[in-house]
Amino acid sequence: MSVEKMTATTKPKSSGKSGGKNSGKSGTWRGQLVQLAGIVAAVFIAKGALAEPFYVPSGSMEPTLLIGDALLASKFPYGYGTSSLPIQINLPETGRVFAETPKLGDVVVFRWPGDRSQAWVKRVVGLPGDRIQMRQGQLFINDRPAELKPDGVGQAEDDNGGNEPAYRYVETLPNGVSHLIFKMRDNGPLDNTPEVTVPAGHLFVLGDNRDNSADSRVSLRSGGVGLLPIDNLVGRADAVLGSWDLGMRSQPMWTWLSGFRMARFFTAVK
């Protein structure tokens, strides 16, 4: 609220009869409402155009993302479409403005094609024109295997707070991007798939927890992602803002503070 407006409302011009005081109050309230509306609009625009926070409810991206992580997704790297809006409105999809194609290895947040009110997160492993196949649990892109390097054993958390041992690997994609993945078992149901050519305007995405992820290996009809339309992208997952171990919910309330994973606060997503 400007000082000039305050001065004008406290010193109204004489107009004969009473009402100047009430007019001043109403002018002040109008100014406050305009200011509040401006703040709300600025927050809405920033959330819609720059970045938006999301919550990770499942273990499909372990060990990269944990259940209880709070993500920040940057929206500008891939341009803007109806999926970029902070609230979902049923509008016809008209393509993206300032559109850019993700890079192999990017972790992306997107609207699930089966229900656009749901935001999912996966890793991009196939771009338009790429041929993608899983062979004995190893990813092949255009007949080139993604390198797998053993990296010990970790603990994969399930949605109920339980843990299961999982072999950890460093996976390196053909473009040199490396990241961690989990493999909980050999010869899993999604370890061998037919080769798929990614069509124009689509992506092939995988969860880093390869034995616990409904991703592009699973059809939309079966509850997976199928081939992801680029127009469904919300943004790129760039940072973990904070994290809390949901398993603490079964513990006494006074112990809940110990569930904050402080080492994950304000860390980059790789």
Active site residues: 60, 122
Q: Is 209 helix (H, G, I), strand (E, B) or coil?
A: strand
Q: In b/e form, how buried is each residue of 14-49, taking b as 16+ CB within 10 angstroms?
A: eeeeeebeeebeebeeebeeeeeeeeeeeeeeeeee
Query: Roughly how many angstroms between the first and final C-alpha of the chain, as a whole number?
Result: 43
HSE-CB at 113 with a 13 A cutoff on CA atoms is 20
The residue assigned the tokens 């079966």 is 222
Task: Count CB-CB contacts under 10 A for residue 146.
Answer: 19
Q: Tell me the residue type at 74.
A: S
